[in-house]
Amino acid sequence: RAKSEGPGRSTIFDTSMHTQVRERIELEVALRQALEKDQLYVAYQPIVRLETGIPVGAEALVRWDHPDRGAIPPMTFIPIAEDAGLITVIGAWVRKEALRQLGVWRSEGTVGDDFYLSINVSPRQLNDPELPLIVSGEMVRYGVPAHCVALEMTESVMVDGSSVTARVLFELRELGVKLLVDDFGTGFSALGYLRRFPVTGVKIDRSFVTGLGVNLEDDEIVRAVVAMSHALGLSVIAEGVETALQREALHAVGVINGQGWLWGAAVFAPEFSERWREMIRRAPAPAAVELRRD
């Protein structure tokens, strides 16, 4: 068989496999040093009320500035960090840095007591029975109340999670932090999981938001997700909102909060605080707007 495909075929395949493996190992080695070499940063993306543009919070997203290769996206290095067991160290650093920054913004008055910061956590982090204690210690240390903190996890955490993970989630929720299911709709999306775990909200994955207003199926899926989530008392945030058309469609099916390039991409802390002040200035006074649930 290999012969009929011509000479060299399998060699080319092996070579490209080899390159991929080597690339991965190189990235892993570099990633191990990234923290101590100060190459990791946290960027912040605003979360807003769709209807009014009033900002309500932000998501913290890790960034890696590689000395030779420039910015390496999280989609590339987070899976490597997870496989290599580095995610616990990186995740802990991101969380601490984000909470520290939130403490600074609060004490400066950049953000108010109604601002919340959403932080991504990996399954492995949630499998650590010490996590709730560590998080509560960090909140005290940085002067951040629990209602100003959200943790984002993927559906897989609830599906594959151990009994330790389940306990950790309940203890975190007891502290008062919000628990959001990230990329909702891409995994199992089973109603049972949402009921069995103390989640407070879902983030509708960008892949469903993209087709809104164009692909009727997506409108129907999102409509169903919103109805179900609200019936369960969960908040809904739409991810990856890029166009006014998507915003209108989301508003039409009852989504209250959104996040996406329509309002701004994730930026580093100094730029974020400037943008935040600008968004607050431009948005209508909260008193003038009927405050709704979520």
- By CB under 5 A, name the binding residues for Mg ion: 120, 152, 182-183, 203, 205, 239
The minimum distance between CB 155 and ligand C2E, in angstroms, equals 12
Mind spelling out the 3-state secondary structure of 191-249?
HHHHHHCCCCEEEECHHHHCCCCCCHHHHHHHHHHHHHHHHCCCEEEECCCCCHHHHHH
Tell me the number of residues near ligand C2E by CB under 6 A: 23
How far, in Å, CA of 27 to CA of 21, rounded? 10
Is the Cβ of residue 152 or residue 219 nearer to Mg ion in the bound state? 152
Asked if 78 touches ligand C2E (CB under 6 A), the answer is yes
Please give the residues from 118 up to 157 whose contact with ligand C2E meets the rule CB under 6 A.
120, 122, 152
Question: 170, 188, 261, 268: which one contacts ligand C2E (CB under 6 A)?
Answer: 261
Asked if 242 touches ligand C2E (CB under 6 A), the answer is yes
Angle, vertex CA 130, rays to CA 125 and CA 34, nearest 5: 45
Please give the residues from 6 up to 25 whose contact with ligand C2E meets the rule CB under 6 A.
none
Question: 46, 55, 57, 91: which one contacts ligand C2E (CB under 6 A)?
Answer: 91
Asked if 46 touches ligand C2E (CB under 6 A), the answer is no
> Which positions touch ligand C2E (CB under 6 A)?
45, 61-62, 73-75, 78, 91, 94, 120, 122, 152, 182-183, 206, 239-242, 259-261, 266
